[in-house]
Amino acid sequence: MTPLTLPAADNSGTFTPPTLEDLHLPAILPWGADEGFNKQMLLVVLSVVFIAWFFIAASRKQSMVPGKLQFLGEQLYGFVRNGIGKDVIGGRDFMTFVPLLFALFFFILVNNIYGAVPLFQLPTMSHVGGAYFLAGLVYVIWIGVGLKRFGLRYLKLAVVPSGVPWYIMPIVVPIEIISNFIVRPMTHSLRLFATMLAGHLVVALAGSGIAFLVEQENVVLKGLSVFVLVFAVAMYMLEALIMVLQAYVFTLLTAIYIQGAVAADAH
Amino acid sequence: MHQFVVQAATESASPLAPNWWEVLVTAVGFAILLFIVVKFVVPAFEKTFAARAEAIEGGIAKAEKAQAEASAALEEYKQQLVEARTEANRIREEARAEGAQILAELKERAAAEAARITEQAHAQIEAERQQALVSLRTEVGSMATTLAGRIVGESLDDDARASRVVDRFLADLEAQNAGAAK
């Protein structure tokens, strides 16, 4: 008998891992057969309320010597403004894009962190729609910025790198077109979506695994649940880190794309 | 024997297919957030940052101004000190010159006074001498006449004659004196 062999008296002994369907809870306010106002939508609305409330409260006083709340707000704002906007886009026109970067960073951050907060427990971006929308918005914005600045010449600037011999152009130009205009929005959205979905699945899997193991009568299997719990906590920490990191990465990439459009003639 | 079975996840709709309602809610939510950020949050923070930068720069400017004023005042005081010193020197010099002048004046005046007194004394002495000479001449004449009259025994009352004799005698005397003085 191996330890993995279950006694006959046990329940079916079948472990059913959480599926993607389990991440899509029934709608809170259904209005169709399969549609309705669901948890993801509720969390999005709540995130807007949280962020707006916090930053309006933090920026309302405008005192020369900030209090704790104002100081925190200024640090967070300054992180996006200077750490992402100013450092990446540069001193001349970064202020135009600071509101977008700021809203993106905190919108994604709060919607990701939901995954690590009990009761909320769902990173909004693990539903692909939100990630598609944000990446699409950024895609439209950076192309718009480029076209506004350089006119139709931008399309050439974006796909024809300077300093490349003419005979390599037939290879380089298609690659640039594919990488900049087709692959870029996909990777931008899927990176966010996939990390959130995978992290959420791993934590959910660990959670259901613990629940399954604890119910076993076999002492060894029961004991293994402690092992899984430790692993789950470690994964949870890693997930929390990734949630913050992905919000930063998404915003940083947005800034890099915009910078590329703003200074398309520089490279 | 019951095997530990892990069921494969059932095939479901592709996770890459979006729920369009979720896309819409995300879009509207993000648009509202962006609007709030553009309208309220960023202007408020930027205003605070600008005001703070201005306050710091203003403070520095104020300090610089105070510094400049202080050094200007110091310069002015130094200038005034130099001026005061020059003034004092000038006054001292003037006083010394004035003192010397006063001294010289006094000396001159004293000398003049002394000269005047001497002159006066000389004049007085001369006058007294003349007076004595005149009175002596008269007295000596009458005495001599009287004496001679007694000796001669003859009155020399005839004034005219007597005067002539006396005058002749005195003239001789004077001539003698003059010759002796030579």
Domain containing A70 equals 22-266
Give me the residue label for tokens 């709608």. A27
Q: How far apart are CA A239 and CA A233, in angstroms?
A: 10
Nearest residue, CB atoms, B37 vs list A37, A103, A133: A103
* Interface contact A96, partner B, CB < 8 A: no
Residue A27 phi/psi, 5-degree rounding, is: -60, 145
pLDDT > 70: percent of chain A: 90
**Which residues are registered as beta bridge partners of A6?**
B2
The residue that leads in pLDDT, B63 or B159, is B63
- In a domain, residue A14? The reply is no
The model's pLDDT over A17-73, given as tens digits with 9 standing for 90+, comes to 777 766 666 677 776 666 778 888 888 999 999 999 999 998 888 887 888 888 999
The model's pLDDT over B67-111, given as tens digits with 9 standing for 90+, comes to 999 999 999 999 999 999 999 999 999 999 999 999 999 999 999
Nearest residue, CB atoms, B42 vs list A10, A40, A102: A102
- Side-chain-side CA neighbours of A15 within 13 Å: the count stands at 20
Q: How far apart are CA A99 and CA A80, in angstroms?
A: 9
What does the DSSP 8-state code read for residue B37?
I
Contacts of A220 (CB under 8 A, 6+ apart): A3
Contact B37 A55 (CB under 8 A): yes
The model's pLDDT over A71-86, given as tens digits with 9 standing for 90+, comes to 999 999 999 999 999 9
Contacts of A51 (CB under 8 A, 6+ apart): A103, A106, A107, A110, B33
Section B42-59 average pLDDT: 88
- How many domains in chain A? 1
H helices of chain A, in order, are: 39-60, 68-78, 98-113, 128-150, 153-159, 169-177, 184-214, 219-262
Q: Which of B42, B47, B26, B32 is nearest to A85 (CA)?
A: B42
Distance from CA of A262 to the nearest CA of B (A): 20
Contact A128 B51 (CB under 8 A): no
Distance from CA of B70 to the nearest CA of A (A): 28
pLDDT > 90: percent of chain B: 43
Query: Number of A:B CB contacts under 8 A?
Result: 143
Q: What is the pLDDT of residue A22?
A: 67
The model's pLDDT over A218-265, given as tens digits with 9 standing for 90+, comes to 888 888 888 888 988 898 899 999 999 999 999 999 999 999 998 887
* Interface contact A263, partner B, CB < 8 A: no
Residue of chain B whose Cα is closest to the Cα of A47:
B29
SS3 A9: coil
SS3 A91: coil
Q: What is the pLDDT of residue A23?
A: 65
The model's pLDDT over A90-133, given as tens digits with 9 standing for 90+, comes to 877 888 999 999 999 999 999 999 988 888 888 888 888 899 99
**Which residues are registered as beta bridge partners of A30?**
A36
Nearest residue, CB atoms, B22 vs list A40, A60, A74: A40
| End-to-end Cα, chain B, rounded Å | 189
Domain ranges for chain B, please list them: 35-177
Kindly indicate the confidence band of residue B38, based on its pLDDT and cuts at 50, 70 and 90: very high
Distance from CA of B54 to the nearest CA of A (A): 10
**With b meaning 16 or more CB within 10 Å and e meaning fewer, what string describes A214-240?**
eebebeebeebbeebbeebeebbeebb
**The pair of three-digit structure tokens given for residue B94, joined into one six-digit string:** 């003037």
Distance from CA of B11 to the nearest CA of A (A): 9
Contact A62 B30 (CB under 8 A): no
pTM (predicted TM-score): 0.69
Distance from CA of A129 to the nearest CA of B (A): 5
**The pair of three-digit structure tokens given for residue A79, joined into one six-digit string:** 């992180």
For residue A73, list chain B residues with Cβ-Cβ distance below 8 A: 45
- In a domain, residue A16? The reply is no
